[in-house]
């Protein structure tokens, strides 16, 4: 049974009709054909809050008086239904992980739905597409003119999603490519209180046993060497650590108006050693910093100078390795993106590189000194460290306090006014031929390994509905629906100019107020969990909503990085070492067979963290970790991925 279109859908299809009827290579006309009354979608993320169906116990009242209750399609998807003229059926098991969903669907030939999608499944969609289970979108771009235009204007996206056989089988989540992602945030009041005067200093009795010896020979004196020399038999106290740092800043950076300027604002030029020196002072000053945080000294305060958001984010700690001469950690915004291309075009695996592992030794030394949160790698701990260490100062009995992290700007600065985003440490990037010290953030927004695809087993009318949906998301309205959740989310007819000079639709007050009520002001979380936008479907995300709701002290961080010309990787960088990798390198059956004997993966990653924390009985050095990679077949792994990457880039 075919759907009778709503007026809105009919208008959309009539307007697109000329494009849908573009000539094929043979010059013939292409018609969309019948559109199904219902489109069945199986989209999962392993989180029942982040599906198309509303799963919250508390109802959500919309501005027009509509009440969204548990089990309803979320407002965004109800709006899309009305615009396109067919019903959307959410077939997802609401809390199922995407990889589990794909495996189950594959066993039955992808016959229970038309559209399959989720997070971190691009590799599977490519694989099954090349095997004939997913529609080759490249052969159907005449039915998706807006998506076609997008790929023509963004060839790096087209290349990044092309499978080994030359087909395109999924539409990816394109997450504001070219914009900064995570950044460094810290408590500036601690930096100023410790370095700029003695008025806030309290007596301190904490000590650390020095282990870190410093990395750079950038100046005549290295600050870590000076602090170590000031220790007594290798034991460093706050007085000695602080005096050594202040003396060093005075001699080495004489043009700074005050010592804190080494770390804060546009004058920040600190390197990884100067950061370690500051972290030592923070660790040794629990009385001082707890008083700055709460107004009075907190007895037995526990200080974590550097921390990650939670233990499942433990690999974020390794982003610090970047600041030891620009060492590669991740080639995309994903812990799984450990492959990268060196300056000569050779595929490398970051965790297995000797130069990377050598720098892990420094992180181990930091951990042994107490500069890193003690529980960061304990995967049995589900605590949100950012919340407990940064956002909980006002809670009675609070004893744990964190100083610095690397995380998303909006959510971090929304959580507390006490944190500001600062420039990253300066570093050289000698493998890229950059031998001067520059501000560099390896973490930037990218094409994600997320998205959705269309099953070849689906009836033609359902495929046509899917083509219509996929293309609609790449229209101006469709993109805004996903990025802002219109019409409920926007102030009609009003725009807002971002720091990049671009005009973005303006979020309305209802969205801001309701996000505060239902999601503590987290706009991205509110749009995903309650409205149904911002999901990892195939669409080009705009950053406008995030920029608008970032508080001024967070927004200033974006402006700071932009104004100071912070370098970050791009998809079209001429220097291969600074080029982002595709979200997935497409493997054929022969590649997969060759990798059957390879065991490169989580086992070695676990060993790295066991070594850092001193909890390994089998790994006593980074050389041991390197040997484990060799035994796991890293050379075969690299050979396979080199061939696959070269093949992919030639398409």
Q: Where in the chain are the domains?
A: 7-179+449-546, 182-439, 589-649
182-439 to CATH, choices 3.30.300, 2.60.120, 3.40.190, 1.10.3470: 3.40.190
158, 163, 168, 463, 646 from 651: Cα distances, Å: 10, 9, 11, 26, 9
Among 282, 310, 470, 444, smallest CA distance to 371 is for 282
Max CA distance (Å), the chain: 85
For residue 300, give the DSSP letter: T
Helical residues (DSSP H) of 131-183, grouped into ranges: 145-153, 155-160
What pLDDT does residue 549 have?
84
Contacts of 514 (CB under 8 A, 6+ apart): 60, 526, 530
What pLDDT does residue 3 have?
39
Backbone phi and psi for residue 61, each to the nearest 5 degrees, phi listed first: -80, 130
Give the other-Cβ count within 10 Å of 1's Cβ.
7
What pLDDT does residue 32 have?
66
- For the chain, give the number of residues: 651
Tell me how far apart the alpha carbons of residues 44 and 59 are, in angstroms, rounded to a whole number: 22
Considering the domain 7-179+449-546 in this protein, what is its CATH number?
A: 3.40.190.10
Among 320, 283, 334, 379, smallest CA distance to 613 is for 379
Domains 7-179+449-546 and 182-439 share a fold: yes
pTM equals 0.89
| Residue 233, Ramachandran bin (φ over 0: left; ψ between -120 and 50: alpha; else beta) | left
Give the other-Cβ count within 10 Å of 480's Cβ.
20
CB contact at 8 A, 326 and 434:
yes
**Which stretches of the chain score pLDDT less than 50?**
1-30
Give me 40's structure tokens. Answer: 């069945």
Tell me how far apart the alpha carbons of residues 130 and 584 are, in angstroms, rounded to a whole number: 14
Tell me how far apart the alpha carbons of residues 331 and 347 are, in angstroms, rounded to a whole number: 11
Tell me how far apart the alpha carbons of residues 19 and 21 are, in angstroms, rounded to a whole number: 5
Give me 321's structure tokens. Answer: 């390795």
| Residue 560, Ramachandran bin (φ over 0: left; ψ between -120 and 50: alpha; else beta) | alpha
How large is the angle between the packed helices 122-130 and 98-107, nearest 10 degrees? 20
The distance from CA 176 to its chain's CA centroid, rounded to whole angstroms, is 11
DSSP 463-506: HHHHHHHHHHTTSHHHHHHHHH-TTTTEEEEEEEE-TTS-EEEE
SS3 586: coil
Among 487, 447, 451, 484, smallest CA distance to 469 is for 451
């Amino acid at each position: 049974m075919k759907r009778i279109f709503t007026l809105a859908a009919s208008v959309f299809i009539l307007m697109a009709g000329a494009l849908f009827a573009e000539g094929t290579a043979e010059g013939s006309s292409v018609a969309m054909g019948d559109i199904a009354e219902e489109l069945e979608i199986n989209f999962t993320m392993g989180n029942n809050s982040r599906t198309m169906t509303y799963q919250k116990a508390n109802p959500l009242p919309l501005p027009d008086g509509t009440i969204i209750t548990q089990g309803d399609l979320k407002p965004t998807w109800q709006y899309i239904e009305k615009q396109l003229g067919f019903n959307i059926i959410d077939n997802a098991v609401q809390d199922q992980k995407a990889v589990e969903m794909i495996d189950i669907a594959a066993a039955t030939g992808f016959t229970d739905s038309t559209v399959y999608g989720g997070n971190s499944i691009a590799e599977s969609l490519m694989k099954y597409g090349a095997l004939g289970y997913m529609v080759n979108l490249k052969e159907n771009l005449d039915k998706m003119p807006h998506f076609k235009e997008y790929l023509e204007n963004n060839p790096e996206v087209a290349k990044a999603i092309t499978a080994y056989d030359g087909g395109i089988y999924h539409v990816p989540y394109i997450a504001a490519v070219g914009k900064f992602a995570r950044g460094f945030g810290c408590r500036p009041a601690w930096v100023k209180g410790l370095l700029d005067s003695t008025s806030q200093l309290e007596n301190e009795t904490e000590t650390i046993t020095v282990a870190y010896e410093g990395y750079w020979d950038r100046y005549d004196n290295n600050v870590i060497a000076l602090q170590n020399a000031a220790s007594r038999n290798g034991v460093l106290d706050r007085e000695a650590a602080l005096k050594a740092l202040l003396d060093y800043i005075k001699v080495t950076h004489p043009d700074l108006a005050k010592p804190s300027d080494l770390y804060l604002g546009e004058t920040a030029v600190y390197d990884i050693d100067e950061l370690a020196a500051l972290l030592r002072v923070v660790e040794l000053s629990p009385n001082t910093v707890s008083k700055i945080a709460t107004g009075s000294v907190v007895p037995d305060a526990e200080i974590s100078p550097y921390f990650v958001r939670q233990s499942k984010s433990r690999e974020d700690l390794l982003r610090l390795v970047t600041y030891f001469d620009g060492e590669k950690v991740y080639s995309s915004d994903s812990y799984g993106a450990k492959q990268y291309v060196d300056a000569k075009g050779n595929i490398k695996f970051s965790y297995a590189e000797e130069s990377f592992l050598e720098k892990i030794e420094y992180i181990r030394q930091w951990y042994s000194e107490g500069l890193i949160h003690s529980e960061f790698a304990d995967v049995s701990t589900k605590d949100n460290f950012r919340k407990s260490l940064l956002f909980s100062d006002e809670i009675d009995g609070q004893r744990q306090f964190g100083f610095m992290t690397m995380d998303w700007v909006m959510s971090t600065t929304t959580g507390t006014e006490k944190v500001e985003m600062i420039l990253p440490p300066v570093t050289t990037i000698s493998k890229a031929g950059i031998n001067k010290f520059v501000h560099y953030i390896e973490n930037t927004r990218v094409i994600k390994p997320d998205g959705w695809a269309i099953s070849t087993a689906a009836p033609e009318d359902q495929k046509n509905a899917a083509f219509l949906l996929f293309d609609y998301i790449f229209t101006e309205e469709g993109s805004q629906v996903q990025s802002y959740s219109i019409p409920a989310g926007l102030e009609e007819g009003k725009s807002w100019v971002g720091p990049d000079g671009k005009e973005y639709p303006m979020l309305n007050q209802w969205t801001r107020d309701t996000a505060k009520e239902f999601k503590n002001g987290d706009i991205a979380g509110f749009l995903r969990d309650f409205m149904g936008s911002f999901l990892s479907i195939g669409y080009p995300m705009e950053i406008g909503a995030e920029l608008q709701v970032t508080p001024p002290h967070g927004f200033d961080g974006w402006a700071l990085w932009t104004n100071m010309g912070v370098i970050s990787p791009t998809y079209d960088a001429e220097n291969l070492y600074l080029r982002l990798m595709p979200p997935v390198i497409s493997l054929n059956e022969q590649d997969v067979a060759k990798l059957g004997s390879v065991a490169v993966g989580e086992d070695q990653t676990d060993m790295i963290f066991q070594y850092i924390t001193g909890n390994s009985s089998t790994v006593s050095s980074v050389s041991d970790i390197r040997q484990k990679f060799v035994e796991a077949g890293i050379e075969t792994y690299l050979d396979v991925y080199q061939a696959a990457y070269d093949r992919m880039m030639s398409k």
